[in-house]
């Protein structure tokens, strides 16, 4: 980070411990560079990545899984209660966008604005999506048979189990946050931390109930995300990438029809239907799309976000003269600290030398 500020690196990401030094948010929530960055004419580039992090339900589970109205309304209630806008603000430094469906921005089929919101979780208010009130989640929970979060079979708070590999000291705050989200509904979330191998085994055998998963696009097509919900790709039954083992015959038929179609209005209609199905079934809490923040010096030109290509560097242009000029300006040698330290050291040593000489003279006189 220091080398970047000195001009010895042309570009830099932003680590959490230096984020506040580089970026501040306006009253409307827009990211802006701090005065220090502006003074150095540094450029900020932000882009939503073609990735998705979600909280999944094991659809083979007797409590949260299945296609019954009870299980569906339980999942919908939890989808409203878990506030991913708050998650992004606390744990991602604001670097994310709450997800409205299975497709991230930049992938064909993603819809902007009101047409693209998840109506189960959000209302459209004042030109932006607004998460539904927790009272509506509680109403759905009551309709599912868990009034105030009470499991009628036990007469106590409904217990749900969250399997995770986040077992380090730094992960405690995150796990506590998840517990508090479920506590809004009166549900007790039990964290089951484990190592990665054991976690993978649970996923393969369907022993996990709730889990967090993610996906980075391999290629820019909606098929690369919807196949994560395609029934024949079930992780338990087929060893596929459908980690939650979701299966809906109507969704599967639409997927098979959509996956090899060219982009166009007909494909968009089918994608909209698929999005509506998974929003209603809620096999995932759609979570968020990560947002990339990158800093570039003023001499770095031809900037354009392009996560899906690997040859971006050949289009970049560096003004080497401007870079050299600013490096010299920012890194001029400062000798006065050395002089001050030398004088200070001399001031400390001189009394010692005088005392030593005086002692020597007294010894010789004796």
Q: What is the pLDDT of residues 258-294, one digit of tens each?
A: 999 999 999 999 999 999 999 999 999 999 999 989 9
pLDDT at 199 over 90: yes
* pLDDT attached to residue 271: 98
pLDDT at 347 over 90: no
Contact between 215 and 287 under an 8 Å Cβ cutoff? The reply is no
* pLDDT attached to residue 26: 79
Taking each helix axis from N to C terminus, what angle separates 172-183 and 84-91, rounded to the nearest 10 degrees?
160
* pLDDT attached to residue 16: 82
Contact between 166 and 211 under an 8 Å Cβ cutoff? The reply is no
Contacts of 221 (CB under 8 A, 6+ apart): 107, 108
* pLDDT attached to residue 69: 95
User: What is the rounded CA–CA span in Å between residue 205 and residue 92?
Assistant: 31
Report the chain's mean pLDDT, rounded to a whole number. 92
pLDDT at 342 over 90: no
* pLDDT attached to residue 366: 63
* pLDDT attached to residue 163: 95
pLDDT at 364 over 90: no
pLDDT at 298 over 90: yes
What DSSP designation does 242 have?
Answer: B
**pLDDT tens digits, one per residue of 215-242:** 999 999 999 999 999 999 999 999 999 9
Mean pLDDT within 14-35: 86
pLDDT at 363 over 80: no
* pLDDT attached to residue 160: 97
Mean pLDDT within 26-52: 89
Q: Take residue 175 and report the two structure tokens written for it.
A: 């796990």
What is the b/e burial string over 110-132, where b = at least 16 CB atoms within 10 angstroms of the residue's CB? bbeeeebbbebbbeeeeeebebb
Q: pTM of the full predicted structure?
A: 0.82
User: What is the rounded CA–CA span in Å between residue 52 and residue 289?
Assistant: 5
What DSSP designation does 234 have?
Answer: B
Contact between 153 and 182 under an 8 Å Cβ cutoff? The reply is no
- Quick one: pLDDT band at residue 110, thresholds 50, 70, 90? very high
Residue 215 or residue 306, greater confidence: 215
**pLDDT tens digits, one per residue of 132-183:** 999 999 999 999 999 999 999 999 999 999 999 988 887 899 999 999 999 9
């Amino acid at each position: 980070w220091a080398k970047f500020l000195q001009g010895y690196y042309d570009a830099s990401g932003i680590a959490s411990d230096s984020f506040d030094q580089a970026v501040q948010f306006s009253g409307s929530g827009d990211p802006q560079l701090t005065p220090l960055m502006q003074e150095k004419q540094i450029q900020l580039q932000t882009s939503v990545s073609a990735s998705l992090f979600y909280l999944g339900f094991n659809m083979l589970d007797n409590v949260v899984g299945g296609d019954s109205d009870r299980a569906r309304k339980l999942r919908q209630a939890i989808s409203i209660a878990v506030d991913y806008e708050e998650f992004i603000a606390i744990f991602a430094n604001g670097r994310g966008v709450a997800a409205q469906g299975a497709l991230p921005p930049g992938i064909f089929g993603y819809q902007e604005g009101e047409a693209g919101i998840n109506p189960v979780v959000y209302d459209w208010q004042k030109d932006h999506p607004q998460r539904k009130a927790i009272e509506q989640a509680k109403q759905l929970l009551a309709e599912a048979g868990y009034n105030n979060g009470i499991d009628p079979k036990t007469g106590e708070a409904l217990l749900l189990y969250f399997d995770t590999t986040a077992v380090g000291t730094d992960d405690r705050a995150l796990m506590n946050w998840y517990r508090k989200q479920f506590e809004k509904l009166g549900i007790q979330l039990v964290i089951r931390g484990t190592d990665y191998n054991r976690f993978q085994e649970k996923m393969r055998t369907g022993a996990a109930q709730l889990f967090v998963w993610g996906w980075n696009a391999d290629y820019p097509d909606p098929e690369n995300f919807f196949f994560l919900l395609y029934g024949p790709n079930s992780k338990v039954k087929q060893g596929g990438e459908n980690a939650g083992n979701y299966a809906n015959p109507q969704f599967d038929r639409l997927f098979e029809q959509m996956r090899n179609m060219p982009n166009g209005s007909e494909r968009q209609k089918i994608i909209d239907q698929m999005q509506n199905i998974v929003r209603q079934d809620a096999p995932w809490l759609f979570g968020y799309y990560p947002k990339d923040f990158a800093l570039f010096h003023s001499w770095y030109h031809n900037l354009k976000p392009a996560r899906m290509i690997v040859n971006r560097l050949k289009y970049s242009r560096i003004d080497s003269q401007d870079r050299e000029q600013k490096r010299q300006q920012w890194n001029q040698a400062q000798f006065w600290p050395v002089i001050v330290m030398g004088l200070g050291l001399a001031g400390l040593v001189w009394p010692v030398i005088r005392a030593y000489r005086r002692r020597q003279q007294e010894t010789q006189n004796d």
